[in-house]
């Protein structure tokens, strides 16, 4: 099946680069979103996502060629499309329970425009069984047609890293599983015409859904193990990074890096899609608990070194969930904030990517490195490149620096007379 027109539903950090990629292959792509400013920006030939290398140029070129446009009317776009790719985020609440409102709404709109012979592919990460058991019936109800008979339905997980989407689209195998053999075949044929990467068919939509959850849960469990090693090393005065480097010199070892916590849309969330409804899974929830504890462990480490933090100013450097990405979803900075405030500390926050009003909304007192206030303790939460040249002598009253990402050099702090502690170092 060689598609001529594709509707990409959801034009966020993954959806827009994917739409641009499809347009670069000569397909006519209609991007669908619910945000009027997003639609206006794309139709003017610009990208509203700023952090993705090459995206602005790709969008401009596709709009100029007439192969990419955007609309608020998903149903109208689907009526014109041979293939519909859905990458609307599945939101979650504080307890990581899925909130299906957005993807259900998108699915209903798609169903109203669906025509016989179309192919619908979900790329949104989903709990196992959702494509077949929830979204397929919704499409059937709205369209009056049956998936696998009147139209094809498949799941293919996005396996992309914000900031390098085009690179990842070229290198990672595309996993594809349909609700039946015909759906799998149609989705495989589509992706082989759309991507340069290898396309891997798997047995079913459930297999493809599980594959995505398996890989993200593996990373969470691996990081939890590294954090356990870090805490063990700290109790014995051993540098855990040296241990991990030595262990990983053996090809069967791939221990990840420890840190002050795990953040983002993926790793802290997707393991819950596995174990929230399955009490027989034991290791993933334990790993989640270990990684969530790292904020409290880090604050306890600070108190062990300098005493009570009650009334003391503490600076958290980096509010984003990882270095140099403008996103703070489930950032471990928030766990640090809560633990520090519970201990009575005055909590400052600094991040070169966020303005002061955002920091205030997130519960931090904004900190200006150009006009610094006193801070007895500083904790590096996100290892932004901007912090690589940090001079600890410019922070008045600084006694202890905790490098929550093991990203900076100890010698800088030794020279400044500031105590330096890494995670497991």
Instruction: Please name the residue that has the structure tokens 């602005």.
Output: 56
Choose among 46, 121, 41, 38: nearest CA to 81.
121
φ and ψ of 288, to 5 deg = -60, -45
Residue 399 contacts residue 306 (beta carbons within 8 Å): yes
Among 79, 80, 266, 341, the one annotated catalytic: 266
Task: Select from 387, 414, 383, 162 the least CA-distant residue to 258.
Answer: 383
| 146 catalytically annotated | no
Catalytic choice (13, 32, 174, 212): 212
**SS3 letters for the chain?**
CCCCEEEEECCCCCHHHHHHHHHHCCCEEEEECCCHHHHHHHHCCCCCCCCCCCHHHHHHHHHHHCCEEEECCHHHHHHHCCEEEECCCCEECCCCCEECHHHHHHHHHHHHHCCCCCEEEECCCCCCCHHHHHHHHHHHHHHCCCECCCEEEEECCCCCCCCCHHHHHHHCCEEEEECCHHHHHHHHHHHHHHCCCCEEECCCHHHHHHHHHHHHHHHHHHHHHHHHHHHHHHHHCCCHHHHHHHHCCCCCCCCCCCCCCCCCCCCCCHHHHHHCCCCCCCHHHHHHHHHHHHHHHHHHHHHHHHCCCCCCEEEEECCCCCCCCCCCCCCHHHHHHHHHHHCCCEEEEECCCCCHHHHHHCCCEECCCCCCCCCCEEEECCCCHHHHHCCHHHCCCCCEEEECCCCCCHHHHHHHCCEEEECCC
The residue among 322, 317, 404 whose CA lies nearest residue 359 is 317
What are residue 234's phi and psi, to 5 degrees?
A: -65, -35
How do strand 98-99 and strand 91-92 relate by DSSP bridges? antiparallel
| Residue 212 bears catalytic tag | yes
Q: Which residues pair with 155 in a beta bridge?
A: 122, 177
Tokens of 166: 């085009």
Enzyme catalytic residues: 212, 266
């Amino acid at each position: 099946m060689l598609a001529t027109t594709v509707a990409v539903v959801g034009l966020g950090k993954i959806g827009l680069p994917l739409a641009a990629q499809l347009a670069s292959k000569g397909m006519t792509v209609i991007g669908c979103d619910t945000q009027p400013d997003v639609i206006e920006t794309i139709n003017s030939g610009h990208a509203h996502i700023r952090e993705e290398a090459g995206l602005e140029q790709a969008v401009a070129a596709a709009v100029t060629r007439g192969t990419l446009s955007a609309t608020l009317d998903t149903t109208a776009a689907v009526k014109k499309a041979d293939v519909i790719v859905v990458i609307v985020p599945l939101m979650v609440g504080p307890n990581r329970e899925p909130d299906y409102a957005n993807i259900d709404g998108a699915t209903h709109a798609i169903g109203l425009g669906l025509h016989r012979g179309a192919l619908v592919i979900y790329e949104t990460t989903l709990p196992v069984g959702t494509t077949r058991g929830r979204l397929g019936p919704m499409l059937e109800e709205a369209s009056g047609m049956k998936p696998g008979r009147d139209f094809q339905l498949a799941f293919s997980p996005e396996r992309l890293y914000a900031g390098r989407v085009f690179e990842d689209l070229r290198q990672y195998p595309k996993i594809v599983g349909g609700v039946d053999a015909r759906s799998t075949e149609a989705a495989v044929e589509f992706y082989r015409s759309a991507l340069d990467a290898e396309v891997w068919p798997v047995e079913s939509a459930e297999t493809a859904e599980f594959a995505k959850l398996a890989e993200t849960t593996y990373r969470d469990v691996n990081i939890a193990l590294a954090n356990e090693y870090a805490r063990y090393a700290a109790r014995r005065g051993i540098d855990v990074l040296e241990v991990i480097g030595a262990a990983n010199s053996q090809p069967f070892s791939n221990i990840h890096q420890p840190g002050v916590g795990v953040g983002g849309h993926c790793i802290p969330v997707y393991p819950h899609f596995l174990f929230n409804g399955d009490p027989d899974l034991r290791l993933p929830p334990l790993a989640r608990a270990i990684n969530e504890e790292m904020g409290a462990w880090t604050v306890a480490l600070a108190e062990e070194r300098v005493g009570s933090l009650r009334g003391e100013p503490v600076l958290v450097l980096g509010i984003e969930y990882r270095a140099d990405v403008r996103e703070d979803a489930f950032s471990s900075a928030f766990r640090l904030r809560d633990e520090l405030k519970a201990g009575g500390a005055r909590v400052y926050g600094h991040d070169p990517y966020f303005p002061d009003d955002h920091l205030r909304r997130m519960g931090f007192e904004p900190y200006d490195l150009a006009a610094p206030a006193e801070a007895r303790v500083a904790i590096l939460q996100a290892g932004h490149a901007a912090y690589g040249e940090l001079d600890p002598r410019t922070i008045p009253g600084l006694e202890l620096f905790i490098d929550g990402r093991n990203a900076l050099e100890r010698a800088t702090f030794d020279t400044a007379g500031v105590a330096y502690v890494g995670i497991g170092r």
